[in-house]
Amino acid sequence: MTVDILAFGAHPDDVEIGAGGTLLKHAKSGKTVGICDLTYAELSSNGDVSTRQGEAKQAARILQLSERHCLGIPDRNILINEENIRKVVQVIRKCKPRTILAPYWEDRHPDHEHCSHLVREAVFSAGIRKFAPEAGEAHKVTNVFYYFINDFVDPDFCVDISSEYDAKMAALESYKSQFELTSETVETPLNTGYFAQVRSREYLFGRKIGTGFAEGFKSRGQVKMEYFG
């Protein structure tokens, strides 16, 4: 199925953290949106692959996703090589998105940075007719925007998610294995106040544009606008 917006993340929950509200906002407006996770996050300190996949499906329902893929690239081994570029190219050519979202290229987690760079390479290659013709017909993406997971800087633009904020957080709460600290889990940055960090960031971005909550994005180039208002 083709989608209007395709968001890539290194692990299930990455996109929800940085762009979940934006995806839901567009889905509610009639756009088709999807997520592609590069890995199953099999090396996560808490939870397991089966649990995480169930949580991802629940989050997908809340965010009204039309598509969710997982490429099965080994966790902590997101290499920028031809094999992985071809895998991402195939998804891009299958879904034919107008806009792609990827993690911001600077983050404390190397996997997030590698995901950002891999997607950038694949977007370029997906538009080359003679590159991997077996992966489908060439497709040129109009926009590539980068969302924040852990680290952030001043965004180039913000999307008002005040109406979607509660649902976004409900999608994140689907990942109980990652965000709940129990007697059976180990302490990580995700289960020790991470929701407060997300709320503070999105409240700050909201203040910048005069709304309650917003998600911020970076662009490597100029953002094309057809009109104001």
Each residue's pLDDT tens digit, 84-140 = 999 999 999 999 999 999 999 999 999 999 999 999 999 999 999 999 999 999 999
Residue 92 lies in a domain: yes
183 token code pair? 């007697």
Residue 221 lies in a domain: no
CA atoms within 13 A on the CB side of 89: 25
Residue 52 lies in a domain: yes
Residue 219 lies in a domain: no
CA nearest neighbour of 103 among 161, 40, 17, 189: 17
CATH number assigned to the domain comprising residue 73 = 3.40.50.10320
Residue 44 lies in a domain: yes
Residue 146 lies in a domain: yes
Taking phi first (over 0 means left), then psi (-120 to 50 degrees means alpha), and beta for anything else, what does residue 107 get? Answer: beta
* Per-residue pLDDT at 224: 76
Residue 56's alpha-carbon distances to 11, 67, 94, 143, 199, in angstroms, are 10, 12, 21, 25, 21
Q: State the residue range of the domain holding 129.
A: 5-214
Strand order in the sheet with 157-160: 67-70, 33-37, 5-9, 99-103, 143-147, 214-218, 157-160
Percent of the chain at pLDDT above 70? 98
Residues of the chain with pLDDT under 50: none
Residue 225 lies in a domain: no
Residue 224 lies in a domain: no
Percent of the chain at pLDDT above 90? 96
Q: How many domains does the chain have?
A: 1
